[in-house]
Structure 1
Amino acid sequence: MATEITHLKTLEQRLLWLACWTIHNANHLRPKQDGDVKVGGHQASCASMVSIMTALYFHVLRPEDRVAVKPHAGPVFHAIQYLMGNQTRQRLERFRGLGGVQSYPSRTKDTDDVDFSTGSVGLGVAVTAFASLVQDYLASRAWTAGRKPGRMIALVGDAELDEGNIYECLQEGWKHGLRNCWWIIDYNRQSLDGVVREGLWQRIEAIFGAFGWDVVRLKYGALQQAAFAEPGGDRLRAWIDACPNQLYSALTYQGGAAWRRRLLDAIGDQGPVTALLDRRTDDELAELMNNLGGQCVQTLAAAFDAIDHDRPTVFLAYTIKGWKTPLAGHKDNHAGLMTLDQMADFQSRMGVAPGDEWEPLATVDDPAALHRFLDNVPFFAGGPRRYQAAMAESAGPVPLDDAELSTQAGFGKILDRIGASGSPLADRIVTTSPDVTVSTNLGPWVNRRGLFARAKLADTFRDERIPSTQKWHFADTGQHLELGIAEMNLFLLLAAAGLSHELFGERLLPVGTVYDPFIARGLDALNYACYSDARFLLVGTPSGVTLAPEGGAHQSIGSQLIGISQPGLVAYEPAYLDELSVLMDWAFVYMQQEDGGSIYLRLTTRPLPQPSRRSGADFARDVIDGASWWREPGPNAEIVLAYQGCIGHEVLQAAGRLGDGYRDIGVLAITSADRLLSGWTAAQRGESEESHVGRLLSRLPRHCLLVTVTDGHPATLGWLGSVCGHRTVSLGVERFGQTGTIADLYALNGIDVDSIVRAVQRHGGRRLSAAS
């Protein structure tokens, strides 16, 4: 173990240098193309994490473990990969530049073995809890028999603990019996704007303890523990425990002489305490006072090795922000950078010869011995851990023959029929919802497939013979993960489950439902899931002002624009069941394709009379591509009504009323403004041939008026006039909703039949005939 600790200390210093040099090179040495714009990086935050990451990656981790690296410690992670031959010098030299390693670890943009993307603080922490739940879910399936569970580990900045999603996920973890999850808190007590309040550690320990986590406090390093055993050491320890965070940081920055003056003034006694201090030079005293538990690989390795259970564990690791750099302890060090002079001094103290700055093992006395050690590090033994999984085949669209039904109810019926099929695809589906399972029509699926829990839970209402439509039972065979009402948790679970094929080598097809207006409540986590290239089907329902009696708080306006603007997510809003059937079948395939992504279906509770069921390859292709002619216009068309969603019912009625007054009226049924817009902009950039929407609208004469209508923001479709230069009037919802009936609210927002007709009259240049 002594030899291993020596290697770990050597690696710790190598990583500290390489991380700081990577940032320095990007800011001070690499030619700048943006004038004096700061490239950035976080040398101080890397320094506080370097010991923790050394002990983890080179001593504790096994290939089945997964780690979410603190965003600001990204350069340390890339330095680790560089030492192991998994990262190139060229990409390190381009840190924060095009083609270089990313500012923060990214699964999709970095080439080394990133487990979880991080960057939006807090999300990379919480996702590890949901990854652990997904791992437990997979462990209950026959597909994973004999597979050893890994630990899902988050490296957490203490300032990240201000993020609310962390505490939301703690409750969910407690409810589901979270295990095999470690969070290691970099407790450096400094953030971007200052020093954290006194006593935060007590709150941290109390909160985690309340949710069933084991708490391990790592406050003192091996040097400090040895000093405490000396005569007078008890008084030194008491002083350290009582020292305010700001003072400790300030003395760290000032150095050994300042430590000596302060300690002699506070506890010097011309006896054992003074002798303890006198036995150390100023440099040795500074090293002692900076030897906190989180900056001591020996202490860290021992603490990690001591965990012999699978209970969730949080390590509160005291660290020094900027440890061993000229920035150490200064309250401005978060975004601070070493100057050229400071870096020259740092380089001299680190013993790195000029010209050897990028040499992986510069300063190493016995490179061969270290190479032998690295060759046997367990975590890297199997190479990259980005897995693949086979696709689950779809049996094709599920037809529905209902004469009148809402798309939300249709979604529930289609999913239930897939569940009844017993197909391999059905077995890979896992559903979840933030306490709106029943009201988003997942109930039939759950009745059929059950709720997941590692241990069976009784349904007391059923046991007591109380009638209920919810015949739900919890068991390890269940395929629905019950969540509390927190949308951030929904999207983080979808992120973890939607990466199962790469994280764990087994395919899951996650389906999450949420009230459409509340997508915005979890938008940061939704963006995180898409940025990570997680694959899932999101169903936002009910949507628009069709949820009329609920009022403005439950009526979505801008969610369509979220769907259009969110990369990695294709948004659809079918009006009818035959469209929905095609889209759900396509979605389960698209989720699994290498160049695929996630899907967002915006559905409604409003029942609509259904048209004669349409089918065939052409119909399916148009639905997937985003639009088709419901009523195809002729060459002299004066008016085209274009709609998305259930407002199509009003649009078709308006088209009928307008028929006598206008020579030729077309109706364009849009299933995806998102798909149409992305195709059009790609064509504009020359990345594809003529777009689908371009082909549809290019046949219209230039004088034709476009009137777009949707139960959402009018900007969703307002851009259509730009495709071929047609004059466009866009109708939609732009203000908070009211309570009332659908008819009331459609009229109030100007999207009812009368409003559509008036818009045509006002802008179309002709009046309706009296007969109309």
Structure 2
Amino acid sequence: FAGAGWEVLEAKYGTSLESVMNGPDGAALRDRIDMMSNEEYQALIRVVDGVDLRRRLADVADRGKRQAILASVRDVPDDQLQMLVGNLGGHDLPKLLQVLDEADRVDTAPVVIFAYTVKGYGLAFAGDPLNHSQLLSNSQIDELRDEFGIAEDDAWDRLPEASRAGAWCARVAAGLERPGDVVALPADAIPDELQSRQPAQTSTQEAFGRALLRVGEIPHVGERVVTMSPDVATSTHLAGWINKAGVFALEETQDFEGEAKRMLRWKPSPSGQHIELGISEMNLFMALGQFGLTEELAGQPLIPIGTVYDPFVCRGLDALIYSLYIRSRMIFAGTPAGVSLSPEGGAHQSTVTPSLGIELPNLLFYEPAFGREVDWVLLEALRQCCDRDHGLSTYLRLSTKPIDQSLMEEPLARLGDRELRRQVLAGGYRLIDRNVASPELPDGDVVHIAAGGIMIPEAVEAARALREEGVAANVINVTSGNRLFDALRRARRAQLKRASASLDLGQLDVLFPVPERRAPIVTVQDGASHSLSFLGSVWGVPVVPLGVDEFGESGARQDIYRKVGIDAGQIVNASLLALELTGS
């Protein structure tokens, strides 16, 4: 903290112990306690017998220091020595008030206070190394209540409102109430389309950058978007947004590169809407979590959007979980993801993040394949942020892998914009419907290929190869394993509650219509293979899960796909195996 310019204050020892340490021979006592280990100190403060405590306190090799230590506490009665030795600053109100007063006088730097405490202070097991899991017995609770003068039937009462303490608590509580003049950001302010231009070949990460620019143009919404990233703004496609919205700083700063011709205009000012953090994903998710609560805390809704390399979602996982736990509404993109970024290197490849997206509560997870899907998902994520009663946070897993956008044309023509958008947000749709693509093939040899997001091109290639072999394949674009698993989970719980075999599986019913529910499934994802394997349990059919179950390597994308077993050829082999498992 000091190295970063903070003012560092300590409340290490209480006023009673400091008084002795500042007295005759007190320096020896201070040095003795300063230099002893935490383990020895914890043992000392639990010694009740004053004679034994005095002996152990002076148990040092140097005779002069030993005599000085004993001299420093000569006037302390045996029955008060334990209290003196355990007098730490964090439990000493006069010392805390003194340090807080010092902090109030510092106006040139932030202040941090280190207050030393003993775990379990005032209880029978204070300082015991095993007290982490200890609970008070009923008799100990009674003793503690009597010590504080609390009647048995008043154990949970508030402080008397007429008392100074009660009045202070009421005043602080009132300050924490939600402001009355809250600015609402209604969900209907979010349009259904962004009208982004999609090149013939593009990646979902590129599409995200374009979509964000269009989001900035939405009336009453764009001005409330705040983006942030841990030192990866340009490599996660935020450059266009930064050029348009600016970088936030408390004061406008000089642009020392201003005359250079650059694609990125980095001009920090108070009006900027991007916050660039250092390389700390934990800080990113803590910040996203707090910015996602500004409506509740300050009456002003903001929509925080973060970007981070997908493997480093795990690095900030603890802060992410707490932000979800407190029901913050935020959006973040993990990009680039999977082994698909193998041309960039082997150290930044994620495998377990799809599982996190499926399993974390209060979170929607999407892995789109096409630019149009990115638009729809981002708009839905904004809508979720506007819904302060039921809205959820959203995680987009994106990629730098270019995908042919024309692959989406057939389902768009077959289903229409509105229905395709609904299915994308519900968790998936049939990109290739065998009833349309290969109606001439027999119904007996049918396989479902359920591909997560960016593995769609390989799934399509495999389906075409299977057709040449006389096997009909449905290609299901799983845009959200999270939404599909949630539909299954809700249906199973409803069955248990009603003790009924009938169930509504939502989008799963659409993806797997009755005539084809006994067909086997091949799942493929640029991530751990188990994350979509639950699809086989919906109707109890064989499933062959393909995915990345090893650490990444550098190399050409298709070479790495073949090595880990998620290329088109392996999807074909898995499909034939799945049919064999069903006896077809």
Question: Scaled by the length of structure 1, what TM-score is found?
Answer: 0.65
Output the CA distance in 2 between the equivalents of 1:727 and 1:324: 61
Does residue 565 (structure 1) correspond to residue 369 (structure 2)? The answer is no
1:181-205 deviations in Å (ceiling 9; x for gaps): xxxxxxxxxxxxxxxxxxxxxxxxx
Change in CA separation of 1:765 and 1:324 when aligned onto 2, cut-off 3 Å: closer
Which letter maps to 1:696? L
Change in CA separation of 1:236 and 1:706 when aligned onto 2, cut-off 3 Å: same
Which letter maps to 1:735? E
Output the CA distance in 1 between the equivalents of 2:250 and 2:69: 62
Which letter maps to 1:525? A
Pairs within 5 Å for 1:107-146: none
Work out whether residues 42 and 127 of structure 2, in 8 Å CA contact, stay in contact via their aligned partners in 1.
yes
Map of 2:393 onto structure 1? 598
Map of 2:481 onto structure 1? 673
Change in CA separation of 1:344 and 1:485 when aligned onto 2, cut-off 3 Å: closer
Which letter maps to 2:575? V
1:10-40 deviations in Å (ceiling 9; x for gaps): xxxxxxxxxxxxxxxxxxxxxxxxxxxxxxx
* 1:601 alignment partner, SS class: strand
1:401-441 deviations in Å (ceiling 9; x for gaps): 4222111111101112222x263211111111122111111
Change in CA separation of 1:565 and 1:327 when aligned onto 2, cut-off 3 Å: same
Map of 1:444 onto structure 2? 240
Map of 2:533 onto structure 1? 718
Work out whether residues 509 and 591 of structure 1, in 8 Å CA contact, stay in contact via their aligned partners in 2.
yes
Pairs within 5 Å for 1:240-319: 240-243=30-33, 244-245=36-37, 246-255=39-48, 257=50, 258-260=52-54, 276-277=75-76, 281-306=77-102, 307-309=104-106, 311-319=109-117
Output the CA distance in 2 between the equivalents of 1:480 and 1:710: 32
Pairs within 5 Å for 1:395-434: 395-399=191-195, 400-419=197-216, 421=217, 423-434=219-230
Output the CA distance in 1 between the equivalents of 2:223 and 2:161: 50
Pairs within 5 Å for 1:522-533: 522-533=316-327
Output the CA distance in 2 between the equivalents of 1:291 and 1:515: 48
Map of 1:374 onto structure 2? 166
> How many residues are aligned here?
544
Q: What displacement does 1:389 show?
A: 5.0
Work out whether residues 389 and 502 of structure 1, in 8 Å CA contact, stay in contact via their aligned partners in 2.
no
Does residue 493 (structure 1) correspond to residue 297 (structure 2)? The answer is no
Does residue 689 (structure 1) correspond to residue 504 (structure 2)? The answer is yes
Q: Which moved more, 1:438-447 or 1:256-265?
A: 256-265
Change in CA separation of 1:404 and 1:410 when aligned onto 2, cut-off 3 Å: same
1:146-195 deviations in Å (ceiling 9; x for gaps): xxxxxxxxxxxxxxxxxxxxxxxxxxxxxxxxxxxxxxxxxxxxxxxxxx
Map of 2:340 onto structure 1? 546
Q: What displacement does 1:623 show?
A: 0.8
* 1:562 alignment partner, SS class: helix
Output the CA distance in 1 between the equivalents of 2:554 and 2:40: 57
Where structure 2 has 5 or more consecutive residues not aligned to the other structure, the ranges are 60-64, 498-502
Work out whether residues 546 and 566 of structure 2, in 8 Å CA contact, stay in contact via their aligned partners in 1.
yes
Q: Which moved more, 1:561-570 or 1:680-689?
A: 680-689
Change in CA separation of 1:291 and 1:558 when aligned onto 2, cut-off 3 Å: closer
Work out whether residues 463 and 472 of structure 2, in 8 Å CA contact, stay in contact via their aligned partners in 1.
no
Question: Sequence identity of aligned pairs in percent?
Answer: 35
Which letter maps to 2:564? N
Work out whether residues 571 and 601 of structure 1, in 8 Å CA contact, stay in contact via their aligned partners in 2.
yes
Output the CA distance in 2 between the equivalents of 1:357 and 1:723: 53
Where structure 1 has 5 or more consecutive residues not aligned to the other structure, the ranges are 1-207, 362-366, 767-772
Pairs within 5 Å for 1:492-531: 492-531=286-325
Q: What displacement does 1:383 show?
A: 6.2
Q: What displacement does 1:477 show?
A: 0.9
Q: What displacement does 1:298 show?
A: 2.3
Work out whether residues 697 and 724 of structure 1, in 8 Å CA contact, stay in contact via their aligned partners in 2.
no
Q: What displacement does 1:344 show?
A: 6.3
Does residue 653 (structure 1) correspond to residue 452 (structure 2)? The answer is no
Output the CA distance in 2 between the equivalents of 1:240 and 1:340: 38
1:486-537 deviations in Å (ceiling 9; x for gaps): 2222222222222222233321211111112222222222222222222211
Change in CA separation of 1:661 and 1:390 when aligned onto 2, cut-off 3 Å: same
* 1:234 alignment partner, SS class: coil
Which letter maps to 2:454? C
Which letter maps to 1:374? G
Q: What displacement does 1:706 show?
A: 2.1
Change in CA separation of 1:337 and 1:747 when aligned onto 2, cut-off 3 Å: closer
Map of 1:608 onto structure 2? 403
Does residue 632 (structure 1) correspond to residue 433 (structure 2)? The answer is yes
Output the CA distance in 2 between the equivalents of 1:403 and 1:298: 71
Which letter maps to 1:729? V
Question: Scaled by the length of structure 2, what TM-score is found?
Answer: 0.84
Change in CA separation of 1:666 and 1:475 when aligned onto 2, cut-off 3 Å: same
* 2:364 alignment partner, SS class: strand
Task: State the Cα RMSD in Å.
Answer: 3.2
* 1:445 alignment partner, SS class: helix
1:437-488 deviations in Å (ceiling 9; x for gaps): 11111110011111111122222222xx222111111111111111222222
* 2:25 alignment partner, SS class: helix
Alignment match of 1:239 (pick from 10, 29, 34): 29
Work out whether residues 642 and 709 of structure 1, in 8 Å CA contact, stay in contact via their aligned partners in 2.
yes
Work out whether residues 549 and 741 of structure 1, in 8 Å CA contact, stay in contact via their aligned partners in 2.
yes
Does residue 699 (structure 1) correspond to residue 514 (structure 2)? The answer is yes
Output the CA distance in 2 between the equivalents of 1:553 and 1:228: 54
Q: What displacement does 1:739 show?
A: 2.4
Which letter maps to 1:608? I
Which letter maps to 2:331? L
Map of 1:641 onto structure 2? 449
* 2:83 alignment partner, SS class: helix
Output the CA distance in 2 between the equivalents of 1:663 and 1:226: 88
* 1:550 alignment partner, SS class: coil
Q: What displacement does 1:601 show?
A: 0.8
Map of 2:252 onto structure 1? 456
Change in CA separation of 1:275 and 1:742 when aligned onto 2, cut-off 3 Å: closer
Change in CA separation of 1:426 and 1:343 when aligned onto 2, cut-off 3 Å: closer
Q: What displacement does 1:640 show?
A: 2.3
Does residue 327 (structure 1) correspond to residue 125 (structure 2)? The answer is yes
Pairs within 5 Å for 1:125-274: 208-225=1-18, 233-236=23-26, 238-243=28-33, 244-245=36-37, 246-255=39-48, 257=50, 258-260=52-54
Output the CA distance in 2 between the equivalents of 1:658 and 1:624: 29
